[in-house]
Amino acid sequence: MPTRNVPVRLSLGSEQPTQATVVIADWTMLERLRRGAMVLGLAWGAAGFSIVIPVLHFVLPPILLLLGPILCVWRVLTRSSFKEGTGPCPRCKPERTMTMGGKVEPETNVFCDGCGNQLTLKLQS
Ligand SMILES: [Zn+2]
């Protein structure tokens, strides 16, 4: 899994924006297929397990059987994803490491562990 550090700008309302960096993981095709197969296995395994739960066995198995392939395709199509961000929060200032996840977007939201505010993270190209 090759990773790269990308500069970003953290902003929060009227506070002075700060510079930070995020680590982005670029998934290889094999890793993407492995991640897709893992989520498919989990969804279908949970569907198989939920058959023995009374009442819920009418709802959960069909939902999980449909959700598995959808999540699998989503994971296979995700070429890169955020791993973590490091930088000073615009409000509480100290350098923080924020765990992140999800597909790489030009703009996303992260939460500061110190003050709990939702920060806007913008990639700088
Ligand atoms: Zn903060």
What does the pLDDT profile of the chain (125 residues) look like in tens digits? 899 999 999 999 999 999 999 999 999 999 999 999 999 999 999 999 999 999 999 999 999 999 999 999 999 999 999 999 999 999 998 898 988 888 999 999 999 888 889 999 999 86
* Total structural domains within the chain: 2
Instruction: Tell me the pairing of strands 107-111 and 80-88.
Output: unpaired
Residues 72 and 53 in one domain: yes
Three-state DSSP state, 3:
strand
How far does the centroid of ligand 1 lie from the alpha carbon of residue 101, in Å? Answer: 19
How far does the centroid of ligand 1 lie from the alpha carbon of residue 42, in Å? Answer: 35
The pair phi, psi for residue 86, each rounded to 5°, is -130, 130
How far does the centroid of ligand 1 lie from the alpha carbon of residue 32, in Å? Answer: 33
Q: Which range of residues forms the domain containing residue 113? A: 3-27+80-123
How far does the centroid of ligand 1 lie from the alpha carbon of residue 92, in Å? Answer: 4
Q: At which of 56, 77, 98 does a domain end?
A: 77
The pair phi, psi for residue 48, each rounded to 5°, is -65, -40
How far does the centroid of ligand 1 lie from the alpha carbon of residue 14, in Å? Answer: 14
pTM (2 decimals)? 0.76
